[in-house]
Amino acid sequence: MRASPDKLDLNLLRVLVQIHEDRKVSLAAEHLGISQPAASSALKRLREELGDKLFSPTAHGMEPTPVATQMMPQIKEALLNIGMAMSRSDAFDVASGPRQFTIAMTEIGELHFLPILMKAAKSICPMLRIATIRNTDSNLRFDLEQGKVDLAIGHLPFLPLDFQRRLLFTQNHACLFRRGHRLDVEVPRLQDYSAAEHAVVWSAGSEYSHIEEEIDRACEGRRIGLRIPHFSALPDVLECSDLVATVPEAFARRSTRRFNLSYRAHPVGLAPLEICMFWNKKHRNDSANLWLQSLVVDQFRAVGNAQSL
């Protein structure tokens, strides 16, 4: 039988979240600064109080049960909100003087989200400064660990589990092309997509590189007419050619509002992109970093998934 929510110890929930992040009780204990027996005892209590195994040991670590998976987003949300509320006693004073935050983002993140974030930040604190770097930087992990980067935002599967993360939203891929293209039908056929000439956005270390590799496997021998390192030039190129491109759906939506372009659901069954916010665990009680996280989350909520990264 499940425990009443008001009787659950918040420290137990922190252990639950940490095991979910690390997939190992010993690693979770290390990150929480407690002993392994204490972490194991907390997990045992949670299992008893929630009436579920929560995790099962596998060759790849502790695998969450469906119950744990279903609960996790709400528990993480609640703990983050509690942390933000508790930090008010030592709150970051945004009006105290100049302060610079560094955020790692994709190019698409800068195009879609940065204007919204800057408008909100400047309305709260005109002296606030924000610097962005590409989150494909090979030193991103080191910079997050050292505090040189305050937050990283995007689809970043290469970042290890020892960073705090929060899922902001998921989005699908889209097939983008000029209006009137042969693919501009309700449901494009895979064979027509494969036969088309493609434009590919490709840069070393990009989190989107593996997507193009997956398309190559599904469309053997596809013709690539253009490779470019940036998304920003893509709409202009597609508008005046028969090239097609694979892009995140939010970028496709934005492009069709500004250019003579259309987009459709992607013919290849690509997994959705998970757009997350990452930060160093050391900043869990840092009022300035918590304030920045809150600002980012609030703006994602305000504009909705369709208008975000």
Question: Does residue 235 have a pLDDT over 90?
Answer: yes
pLDDT tens track for 118-161: 888 888 878 888 999 886 655 888 888 888 899 999 888 777 76
Residue 119 carries which side chain, given as an amino acid letter? K
- Cβ-count burial of 187 within 10 angstroms (0-12 exposed, 13-18 middle, 19+ buried)? exposed
At a CB cut-off of 8 Å and minimum separation 6, what does 87 contact?
285, 287, 290, 291
Residue with the larger pLDDT of the pair 140 and 257: 257
What is the rounded distance in angstroms from the CA atom of residue 1 to the CA atom of residue 4?
9
Confidence of residue 108 (pLDDT cuts 50, 70, 90): confident
The band of 194, judged by pLDDT with boundaries at 50, 70 and 90, is very high
pLDDT band at 309 (very low <50, low <70, confident <90, very high): very low
| Helix spans in 136-206 (H) | 140-146, 190-195
Would you state the structure tokens that stand for residue 35, as one six-digit string? 């002993």
Q: What is the pTM of this model?
A: 0.66
Domains plus CATH for the chain?
5-88 (1.10.10.10), 95-167+273-307 (3.40.190.10), 173-265 (3.40.190.10)
> For the chain, what is the mean pLDDT?
83
- pLDDT of res. 184: 95
